[in-house]
Chains A and B, each alone.
Chain A
Amino acid sequence: MTTFPEDSILVLVETTPSGGLAKSAAGLLGAASLVGTPVALLVRAPGAAADATQDAASLGAKHVLTAEPEGADLLLAVPAVDALAAAANLVRPDAVLISNSVNGRDVAGRFAARTRSALAIDAVGVSRDDEGIVAHHSVYGGAYNVDCAPTFGAPVITVREGSIDVRAEPVSPEIAPLDVPPSGVPTASIESFEEQAVTSTRPELRGAAKVVAGGRGLTSQEQFALVDQLADVLGAAVGASRAAVDAGWVPNSYQVGQTGISVSPQLYVALGVSGAIQHRAGMQTAKTIVAINKDPDAPIFEIADFGVVGDLFDVVPQLIASLSARKE
C-alpha cells in the first residue's frame, strides 16, 4: 500500500480528447510543487489511463493515480468527481488543485459541495502559511488582489489557466491504479463529441505571451485581416473586443474581456479598440500595452505604455513593413 507524503497536494490533471495532458497540467503541478508534494490524478475512459502517466511524471508528479471510472468519456463531471473523492480519501491532501476550465469548474463545484470543502476559484497563485494553503486571486479585472484560505480542512482551488509560470522538476513517479466506487449521482450524458480542429499556427489566446486584438475600428471582417497580419509578424495570438465579436467578424472565442478571456501577456497590442472597462478588465494586467486609435480620447490610451493617435490603416501597414524589414 502506497503511503502519501504529509504535504501532498492532489492535482486533477486534465487530458485532451486524444489522450495527452492538457496545457493546464504543467502550471497546476508547478503550483502544487511550490506548496507541497504534487500527486496527480488522471481520469480516463476505461483502458486509456496509462497513456499520459509519463507526461505527468515529466511535469513533476511524485505520485500518479490512474482512474478509469465507468462512463468517464460519456458522462459530464460525475465520474471525475467520484475519482477525485476516492483519491482525496486515500491521499488526505493539504489542498486539491483543479484547472479553472469549463470542465474543471464543474468537477470542482460538485466535489466541494459533496465533500463540504471550502472552495476558492480562479486563483493566480498559491502559498502556504502556518495554518495551511492560501489561494491568491486577482479580481475585478485585476484591480484588486485578494488572499483566501479555508476556516479549516483542505481547500479546493481552481487555478486560472496560464497564470502559473513555475514548473516542477521531472521525477520518476510511483504509479498506482485507483479504485473508484461509483456514487450513482445523476448526470448529463454526452451524446456526441466533435474535437475542435486546430487550424491556426498562431499561439492560443489563453496564456499567449503576445496578443494583438482588434476592435470596432477595423470596420469590417475583411479589414480585420490586418490584425492577423500584425499577429503573424509578432508571433502573437489574435484577440478581439466585444464589438468585433458582436459584429460577427471573429468567433466568440476571440473575445478578450470581462465576459470573454482574461489575458496577461508580455505585450498587448490594441488596434481600433476603444477600451471600454469590460475590455480593460480582461487585459490590463498585460506587461506592456500598445494602442492605436484615431480617437485621441479613447479610454485605452489611459493605460497604454505606447499610444498612437492615428489611422490604423496607415500606421499598421507601416509597422508591419518596418518590423519585417528589420527581421531580414
Chain B
Amino acid sequence: MRIIVLMKEVPDTYGERKLNLETGLAERGASEAVLDEIGERALELALTQAASLEDAEITVVSMAPETATATLRKALAMGAGKLVHIADENLVGADLGLTAEVLAAAIRRTGFDLVIAGNLSTDGYGGVLPAMIAELLGVPYASALTTVDISSDRVSGTRETDGGVMTVAAPLPAVISITERFPAGRFPNFKGIMAAKKKPVETLTAADLDIDPEGLETPRSIMLAVSERPARSAGRKIVDEGDAGEKLAEFLIQNRLA
C-alpha cells in the first residue's frame, strides 16, 4: 500500500507570526518554522496503521521553500520512508489552485493508494486543498474524519459535520483528511534521527511536474491589499478585594452587555 502524507512547514503558532506588508507573504524569518501539527497527526495515523497493512510505503509530499528541508526531515525521523519536496522559487506565493495542481502532479508521479492530509493548516486555515487534489486526481475524498480504518482496498471512518455524525467509506485510491481528534505525532528517537539521514529525499521543481507557475490561461487568486490590524490594548485591570464580582457586574451593565 502506497500511502502519501501531505505535510507543510508553518510558522510556529506559539510565537508571533508576521505578514510582509509589501508582498503579503509570510515572513519566514519572523518566527520559528515547524511542521504543522495536524500534518504530524496525519503521519502518526499512517505510521500506526502501516503495521497492519501489506507492504506499506509512507511518502511525505510537501511544497515548501528549499530551506524547509531541515524541518521536513523530522517526518523521516518520525518514520516516513521517503520525502518528496517540491521546492521552486517560482512557486513562492502560489495560490490554492496552483498549489493543488503542483501537489496533485507530485502525488500522481509518486504513485498512491491513499493520500492522508490534515483538515486545516494552522497558517492558511483553508481546509480545501485535499478536496481540490481529490478532484484533480479523480478519486473519492472523505473529509474531517475523526476515526479511520484502512484495509487493502477501502478506507472508512467517522466524519463530523455541523449537522451530525456520519460513517463514510470509499474504495481506494482515495484522499482523506483528519481532524485533531487524532493523537499527536510521536517524538523522533535517536535511532529514527540516524535512520532519517539515509532515507531518500527527492527534490522537484514545477518544471519537473510539467507545470508552468507563470501560465496565464488559468485564473489565479491574487492579493490586492494587506494591512495590519492595530493591536488590542489592555483596558482596566483590578485586583479582587472582595468586590470584584460586583464591579464586573457594573461594568457589564454600564456597557449594556448584561
Contacts and interface: CB of A to CB of B under 8 A. Distances in A.
Interface in B188-234: 216, 218-229, 232-234
A313 to B, nearest CB: 11
Q: Sorted from nearest, which 8 A-B pairs have the closest CB atoms?
A: A318-B245, A310-B240, A109-B131, A109-B128, A322-B249, A305-B235, A188-B170, A319-B245
B65 interface: no
A289 B61 CA distance: 41
Contact of A121 (B100, B126, B232): B126
A143 B228 contact: yes
B221 A120 contact: yes
Interface string A289-328: 1101000100001111111111100111111111100100
Interface stretch (A54-62, A87-95, A134-142, A166-174): A134-142
Given A119-B221, A186-B139, A311 B240 contact: yes
Contact of B239 (A146, A188, A309): A309
Nearest to A322: B249
Contacts of A3: none
Given A146-B223, A189-B169, A195-B164, A304 B234 contact: yes
A191 interface: yes
A292 B163 CA distance: 33
Q: Chain B interface: which size bin?
A: 35 or more
A259 B232 CA distance: 21
A259 B180 contact: yes
A307 B236 CA distance: 6
B162 interface: yes
B244 A308 contact: yes
19 contacts: A100-B127, A109-B100, A110-B134, A113-B97, A139-B19, A140-B19, A142-B229, A145-B225, A145-B227, A145-B229, A146-B19, A150-B219, A185-B135, A234-B258, A278-B122, A306-B238, A308-B248, A314-B242, A322-B248
B162 A187 contact: no
A317 B243 CA distance: 11
Contact of A306 (B15, B224, B235, B243): B235
Contacts of B92: none
Given A190-B167, A322-B246, A112 B97 contact: yes
B136 A113 contact: yes
Contacts of A301: 234, 237
B132 A148 contact: no
B184 to A, nearest CB: 10
Interface of A: 16-17, 22, 76-77, 81, 100-103, 105-110, 112-114, 116-122, 134, 138-140, 142-153, 155, 158, 185-196, 210, 233-234, 252, 258-259, 266-267, 276-278, 281, 284, 288-290, 292, 296, 301-311, 314-323, 326
Contacts of B59: none
A278 B248 contact: no
A106 B100 contact: no
Given A101-B162, A112-B132, A323 B249 contact: yes
Q: Could you say which of B159, B162, B226 has the most chain A C-beta atoms within 10 Å of its C-beta? A: B162
Interface stretch (B48-56, B69-77, B80-88, B140-148): B140-148
B219 A109 contact: no
A125 B108 CA distance: 36
A151 B245 contact: no
B38 interface: yes
B246 A121 contact: no
B96 interface: yes
B155 to A, nearest CB: 8
A307 B229 contact: no
A306 B251 CA distance: 8
B166 A196 contact: no
Nearest to A197: B164
